[in-house]
Amino acid sequence: MLCQRVCQFGQKLVRRRPLETRGGSESHLARCLSTMDLVALGVGSTLGAGVYILAGAVAKDKAGPAIVICFLVAALTSVLSGLCYAEFGARVPCSGSSYLYSYVTVGQLCAFITGWTLILSYVIGSASVARAWSSAIDSMTGNHISRVLQGSFSLHVPNLAQYPDFFSLGLVLLLTGLLVLGASESALVTKIFTGMNLLVLSFIFLSGFIKGDVHHWKLTQQDYELAKSGSNDTYSLGPLGSGGFVPFGFDGVLRGAATCFYAFVGFDCIATAGEEARNPQRSIPLGIVISLFICFLAYFGVSAALTLMVPYYQIHSDSPLPQAFLYVGWAPARYVVAAGTLCALSSSLLGAMFPMPRVIYAMAEDGLLFRCLARVHVRTRTPIIATVVSGTLAAFMALLFELSDLVDLMSIGTLLAYSLVAFSVLVLRYQPDQDLRKNEKTEVEITEVKPEPEASSLASVPEAGNSKTLKSLCNPINTIPTRKSGQTVYGCALLLALLLTILCLILAQWPSNLFSGDPLCTTSAGLLLLLIFGITFIIWRQPQNPTPLNFKVPALPVLPLMSIFVNIYLMMQMTPRTWAQFGIWMLIGFAIYFGYGIWHSMEKTNDEQPRASSSQTADKSVPSAEFPHRK
């Protein structure tokens, strides 16, 4: 009895949502977003104020002029996740992004974890961008705002900000009101700010090639000594390295690329608009790919212009572009850069706030969060309660908290989401169609009611079958996916995720031992690689689903596995403090899930309906945990 209850509870945790829209019902949200709206949303969210700061910091201390290579490597790495999002956007045109994708493939508990971490990422991201916007305005006024607030409302509480940032509070609440008005209105404002930001970046790009000097990409020790002797101590010189185009070597390029990778985070907000895009199967893949390409061109152009205008060791880390224009004698251009920074922050803030209520809405509609959060306004057709609640939470965080120490928490949620989307694409491509699965279910039950003599006649088959198992895995007979091949891929993918996690742990925690030839680390890594290559080969040999889609990830299963590897490795770089903070957030989430979500899930209702109806229907009597897709 106890064992049966434990099994039933375990089945609840791995319940999966059907791949299609529930009951074939039409979306409650307004389908009003075009491909251009999605591109603007993705570019605005991804191309934030970091483009004005990040290039200088990485070029000065990590990569030098080779920062253009760093952005190329980071863009190619981000494309791995972007392609996976693009296929799922074409496959599942619903709100929820990676939360929904993991619900379809991995199960309910994993989906809740993904959605809960995404909410954390979007809340912290929105609040931190709002405070950055406030700081930018404050610096333009000579820090007058901060001095007044600190003198009047000074806070002396650990882990809180020095003063309440009322400017950030008002900004977040204002944009919350804009989001309530409708998706098309929000997209229009995003397009305006993103367009102005791209104009400013184009000006910087052209200025760099007009005022730049190619000699700055091949500097020597003599140039460094000359700069040191002429320094007026207004800023400190960075290290020279070995000079030239790659002054800090290949290791510097990799370290710089790891930092630049986070500059491309944000395109996933496009996937949350699946229920509001006019033609999601086409618009979401196009929007993701085009936005990533535009962001790469912007980062590449700005970093090239910056390192051509100023020697990399003379770049000012805090304000690289204004100081670069001072260096070349174009001081008034600083105001253009300031305007671009505000536009970038505005579009980035909207891009961070737009997907947050969509994820909450999707989870509430599935019953995993409180159902009231799924309420949609009749006229604007926006998730009004989810928008107001999430905006209020972000505004409260921006008002009271100093978020610089919490920014790494954003990365955990994003990287976890990227990994699960890649895993989901890998698994679903090898699953059979739902119609075929139903036929197979019927065949299974017919086999179960056959007379015993037939069953006993098969008793001698297992020995012969076991000897042919490996051969059948590497050379399957069927050319289309079956239930067995789908389960094989699912098991292999889970095993690969575990092996990749262990390999990333070794690479992150003991890199010196590994590359110095330590026998234990080297042997362990070698065995892990052999197992990974072997299991990948087994997955590659399985038949893929031939169902046509508007976009499919190429080079399966290699590209999704590469994406999973990169994302897990970057997660392993997080500090223990960050993981402890993440654990506290997850404890709050688990209290909600086990106290409410697991008992009010829509999948629980779907499971109970067949038991209440006639038990003669074979298709509805199969336990739901066994199959990823159900009607």
At residue 626's C-alpha, the angle toward residues 620 and 627, to 5°, is 70
Cβ atoms 560, 425 nearer than 8 A: yes
pLDDT at 447 over 60: no
Q: Which of 43-52, 56-65, 150-159 has the lowest mean pLDDT?
A: 150-159
Q: In the predicted model, what is the mean pLDDT of residues 292-305?
A: 93
The H-or-E segment that residue 460 falls in is none
Interatomic CA distance for residues 198 and 193, integer angstroms: 9
Tell me the whole-structure pTM to 2 decimals: 0.83
Q: Quick one: what percent of the chain has pLDDT higher than 90?
A: 34
Upper half-sphere CA count for residue 526 (Cβ side, 13 Å): 9
pLDDT at 99 over 70: yes
pLDDT at 514 over 80: yes
pLDDT of 468: 63
Interatomic CA distance for residues 288 and 244, integer angstroms: 35
Interatomic CA distance for residues 253 and 495, integer angstroms: 32
Q: Among candidates 434, 482, 553, 423, which has minimal Cα distance to 90?
A: 553
- Provide the token pair at 52: 């004005």
The H-or-E segment that residue 129 falls in is helix 108-140
> Residue 240: which pLDDT band, with cuts at 50, 70 and 90?
confident
> Residue 263: which pLDDT band, with cuts at 50, 70 and 90?
confident
pLDDT at 618 over 50: no
Residue with tokens 């945790």: 13
Residue with tokens 């100023």: 310
Q: In the predicted model, what is the mean pLDDT of residues 303-313?
A: 92
pLDDT of 564: 93
SS3 content of the chain, % helix, strand, coil (to 5): 75, 0, 25
Which amino acid is present at 576? P
- Provide the token pair at 469: 């198992």
Cβ atoms 417, 118 nearer than 8 A: yes
Instruction: Work out the number of other CB atoms within 10 angstroms of the CB of residue 189.
Output: 18
pLDDT of 232: 59
Mean pLDDT of the chain: 83
User: 510-549 as b/e, with b when 16 or more CB fall inside 10 Å?
Assistant: beeebeeeeeebeebbeebeeebeebbebbeebbbbeeeb
Helices (H), 1-47: 2-13, 35-46
Cβ atoms 556, 80 nearer than 8 A: no
How close are the terminal C-alpha atoms of the chain, in Å?
29
pLDDT of 300: 93
315 Cβ contact list (under 8 Å, min separation 6): 56, 59, 60, 238, 306, 307, 323, 324
Cβ atoms 483, 437 nearer than 8 A: yes
pLDDT tens profile 451-492: 444 444 434 444 444 556 777 777 787 888 888 888 899 999
Which amino acid is present at 620? K
The H-or-E segment that residue 238 falls in is none
> Residue 231: which pLDDT band, with cuts at 50, 70 and 90?
low
- Per the document, the length of the chain is 631
Cα 334 versus chain centre, distance? 33
Cis preceding-peptide flag for 93 (omega within 30 of 0): no
SS3 of 474-540: the string is HCCCCCCCCHHHHHHHHHHHHHHHHHHHHHHHHHHHCHHHHHCCCHHHHHHHHHHHHHHHHHHHHHH
Interatomic CA distance for residues 569 and 507, integer angstroms: 8
Helices 98-105, 407-428: axis angle to 10 degrees equals 40
3 state SS of 33: strand
Q: Among candidates 422, 443, 449, 405, which has minimal Cα distance to 159?
A: 405
Instruction: Work out the number of other CB atoms within 10 angstroms of the CB of residue 324.
Output: 28
pLDDT of 388: 95
| Partner residues linked to 33 by β-bridges | 277
What are the angstrom distances between the C-alpha of 328 and each of 51, 173, 211, 214, 378? 20, 41, 7, 14, 56
